[in-house]
Amino acid sequence: MTGLLVIMGSGETAPTMVKPHREIFKRCGDRPAVLLDTPYGFQENADDISAKAVKYFADSTGRRLAVVEWRTTPAPGLPLERALSGLRGAGWLFAGPGSPTYALRQWAETPIPGVLAEVLEAGGVVCFASAAALTLGSHTIPVYEIYKAGVDPHWVPGLDLFHRMTGLPAVIIPHYDNTEGGHHDTRFCYLGERRLALLEPLLPADAFIIGIDEHTAGLFDLAAGTVEIVGNGGLTLRRGGASQRWPAGTTLPFSVFSSSFTAGISSSPVVASLDPPPLTSLAASTLETTARFERCFEARDPDGCVAAALDLEQALQDWIADTDVSDEREQARAALRSMLVRLGSFAGPDRFAPLVSALVELRTAARSGRDFALSDLLRDVLASVGVSIQDTPAGTLWV
């Protein structure tokens, strides 16, 4: 078997993962690249998510993605066969954010697991991230049901594709080092240690957990029997509360996953820091630019303030295609809005013009990307500081 199974912890459409995506695409040459939209197929903005993902890959890797719609299981006959044909012809097959349990309901008792195996057996790439990654193991965490709706922690059956392809009876947990909770524990895909400790004994005796950190990928080379860890974090092996972690830049044989238990692994889990993460997210960029703006504002340095605001605007632009569901974008918009209001207290028109031009360009990009919420917010912010915008066939004008 010559395929490459790629499992991403998060950041599948973020600037942090552009380099890994480019390297991965080299594995499949010019064969078709296909996006499977099932995990987010229940969302009202599913079309927008697909469009953002297609744009992200076109802009960052130069690859054009075909979208195969499987939001609900296609009807027997031509609709089903057309979708299956599109998937079977893929050299690179991707699925990402959304709900793992929704995806499993649409894929259960359908040809999907077999098709994924066929792509890998033909030497293709299957790249599953975030919610889709959760479905690959023998068991799956129902994230929304536990974290959002308060359902008691439990497992649901997964596709078990990882076991089929690698021989390893693993459960896959992305977002392994998540810190969105701040002072409360959201590691292990929002479970935290307490709930994961309740769930772990319910797994079969031979099963173990493979955790993939955010903005990190495990490249499981089925021919070589190795996994290469790339990105910003690491990969963790866990069973019975004991863990061993390897950082990005490490390549391991599949055999290490069984031999680690035989030799004995760390007696206590690796605890991720709950401190603010490095600049590998829009939230981190917001924190950094806001702190820099504050320092410059206190020093009455308008150029420094404008530079910080422009850097935050650029971060918003860089992360505009990210399909990860979080409130980071709203926090960044709020921070940028605050910067603009405070700049008005000492920035003259000549200093204000570059920032306004940049914001108008960001609004144009948001409109092109159908992010109308961001477009309207920028229009309103600009209007609040006296900037009038007019959209014309020749472009956007401002006064």
- pLDDT tens-digit profile, the chain (399 residues): 679 999 999 999 999 999 999 999 998 889 999 999 999 999 999 999 999 999 999 999 999 999 999 999 999 999 999 999 999 999 999 999 999 999 999 999 999 999 999 999 999 999 999 999 999 999 999 999 999 899 999 999 999 999 999 999 999 999 999 988 888 999 999 999 999 999 999 999 999 999 999 999 999 999 999 999 999 999 999 998 999 999 999 999 999 987 765 555 543 434 444 444 445 678 888 888 998 988 888 888 888 888 999 888 888 887 776 766 467 888 888 889 888 888 876 655 566 778 888 888 888 888 888 888 888 888 888 888 888 888 888 788 888
Whether the CB-CB separation of 49 and 40 falls below 8 Å is answered with yes
Whether the CB-CB separation of 230 and 250 falls below 8 Å is answered with no
Residue matched to tokens 């204000």: 352
Helices (H), 62-128: 78-88, 100-107, 112-121
Q: What is the pLDDT of residue 359?
A: 85
Neighbour-count burial of 337, counting CB atoms closer than 10 A to its CB (0-12 exposed, 13-18 middle, 19+ buried): middle
Residue matched to tokens 């769930």: 199
Q: What is the pLDDT of residue 101?
A: 98
Q: What is the pLDDT of residue 270?
A: 41
Q: What is the pLDDT of residue 281?
A: 74
Whether the CB-CB separation of 321 and 369 falls below 8 Å is answered with yes
Whether the CB-CB separation of 71 and 38 falls below 8 Å is answered with yes
Q: How many whole angstroms separate alpha carbon 383 and alpha carbon 172? A: 48
pTM of the model: 0.74
Q: How many whole angstroms separate alpha carbon 248 and alpha carbon 78? A: 44
Whether the CB-CB separation of 170 and 138 falls below 8 Å is answered with yes
